Structure 1
Amino acid sequence: MKIVSYNIAKCVQTKIDHVLRMNADLYILPECADHKSIVLPKGYTMFWVGDDDIPQKGLGVIWKEELSVHIVNGHRKIKHHLPLIVDNDGCSKFILACWPTVWQESKTYPQLLLEALHEYSPYFDKLPSLAIGDFNCYIGQSGVKKKTGTFEDCIKKFEAHGMKSAYHTHNKEEFGKEHEATFFWRYNEHSPYFLDYAFSNVDIHSYEIGQWEKEISDHRPQIIEL
């Protein structure tokens, strides 16, 4: 199963068409427009969660219909996160699509991610699992106080449930010392950050960070094969 996670920034139809040409089975798309704003080709369907007053900027999950995908418990508890059970060839996996977003929130990005992990991490122990998306988090993040929850706390929470970062495992690099970047602030190549992650307790056949397509996004895609 091929999975692409890609914050596509200011979603328009041409970006959706471009991303779908990557021919993944499942797409995690922060900053995706809602169902009414884009058209999917035959054979694809999607879930979307976001603010109704900003229909062009939510979290979208798009998949090929040969997969069976449903939301855990049939509802969404944590804003801009989608907890999914994905069935493929008789094998069920838990996939947590993540995009902690501080719009109209008084909490920090790590605090919001921690809330999602506290809510959904029991599934990490029940099923082969993957948590993936634009986490908006990095080591030493400004404006984050240690007593309120940090990205380091999120990493510890993942690791307590056997979840490891695909990038850091494959590249044998430490958090906060990445040689790659997944995000360029204000589209500036001299302001790189590592914000996009994939934590998993299953074998990942391949993992790569795709090329930066400046005309598409200020992020780079994560491309995974399970």
Structure 2
Amino acid sequence: MKIITWNCNGKFQESFKEIIKENADIYVIQECGNPSESKSDDYRQFASNYFWVGANKHRGLGIFARDEVNMELVDLDDEGLRYFIPVKVNDDFNLLGIWTNPDMEGTKVVHYPKEVTKYYEEHKDSGFFNEDMIMCGDFNCDVRLVNKTHGKNVYEMMDKLSEVGLVDVYHYLNDEIQGEESKSTFFMNRKLEKPFHLDHVFASPDKIKDLEIPEPEYWMNFSDHVPIIFEI
């Protein structure tokens, strides 16, 4: 099964035609519009099997799948956190789509990793978090961001997820450490000289067969993020 996570930077009713060229089974998309309120017939047709959450119709978090993929929404209270979509796929594994975007006045980037940690702490005893699950999306987490406290919060998040056997798959497969990635997923103002690694996939070490972060030049035509493409 092929899965893609991508922050599309809005206007997904247009750029989805680019990402589907990758021919994935599931797309976890951040900053996408609500298909049910879109005027695009093509976008609504693409979104025949999906879940979406958002504060407004233009930018939210969506999980889109082929019609033959069975997705069931798992009933977990978000406890005021946003945006998270927990689903069970083909009655086989759990998938958690993520776009950390706190809804609190004055919230700073330093707190973004805490959103994932809080969600884990709220639901770690629910059975949803386990070694067969996959978490992916725009975590807005890079140990180089803001200050040392942000980095500390990133490592805290990683330690918590390791309790159920989950690792940051890119770093595991490439034997790279946080903050020294050879491939970036985000480029500030779409400038290649301002790279960060904000997007992540967490799974057990043997869950992901292959993971690719494509070269950014092409994708900068559509977003300030590049997709992460992986297979299980």
Q: TM-score, normalised by structure 2?
A: 0.86
Structure 1 residue aligned with 2:165: 162
Question: SS at 2:229's partner residue?
Answer: strand
* Alignment of 1:109 onto 2:112: yes
Structure 2 residue aligned with 1:66: 68
| Equivalent in 129, 133, 142 of residue 133 of structure 2 | 129
Structure 1 residue aligned with 2:94: 94
Distance 2:191 2:46 in 1: 37
| Equivalent in 201, 204, 208 of residue 204 of structure 1 | 208
Instruction: Specify whether residues 30 and 56 from structure 1 end up closer, same or farther in structure 2 by C-alpha distance, changes over 3 A only.
Output: same
* Alignment of 1:223 onto 2:229: yes
Structure 2 residue aligned with 1:182: 185
Instruction: Specify whether residues 105 and 153 from structure 1 end up closer, same or farther in structure 2 by C-alpha distance, changes over 3 A only.
Output: farther
Task: Give deviations 1:24-49, integer Å, cap 9, x for gaps.
Answer: 10000000110212523368321111
* 190-199 vs 102-111, greater mean Cα deviation: 102-111
State the number of aligned residues.
Answer: 220
Higher share of residues assigned helix? 2
| Equivalent in 194, 197, 202 of residue 191 of structure 1 | 194
After superposition, residues 10-159 of structure 1 pair within 5 angstroms as 10-35=10-35, 36-37=37-38, 38=40, 39-41=43-45, 44-52=48-56, 55-73=57-75, 76-77=78-79, 78-87=81-90, 92-107=92-107, 108-122=111-125, 123=127, 126=130, 128-142=132-146, 145=149, 150-159=153-162
Distance 2:169 2:157 in 1: 15
* 94-103 vs 21-30, greater mean Cα deviation: 94-103
Distance 1:11 1:143 in 2: 32
Distance 2:157 2:32 in 1: 25
% of aligned pairs identical?
A: 27
Instruction: Specify whether residues 150 and 42 from structure 1 end up closer, same or farther in structure 2 by C-alpha distance, changes over 3 A only.
Output: closer
Instruction: Specify whether residues 40 and 160 from structure 1 end up closer, same or farther in structure 2 by C-alpha distance, changes over 3 A only.
Output: same
CA-based RMSD of the aligned residues comes to 2.3
Residue 83 of structure 1: how far off its partner (Å): 0.9
Distance 1:31 1:7 in 2: 6
Structure 1 residue aligned with 2:2: 2
Question: SS at 2:28's partner residue?
Answer: strand
Distance 2:69 2:53 in 1: 20
- In structure 2, the gaps of 5 or more residues are none
Q: TM-score, normalised by structure 1?
A: 0.88
- In structure 1, the gaps of 5 or more residues are none
**Alpha-carbon contact 2:31-2:60 (below 8 Å) kept:** yes
Distance 2:173 2:23 in 1: 23
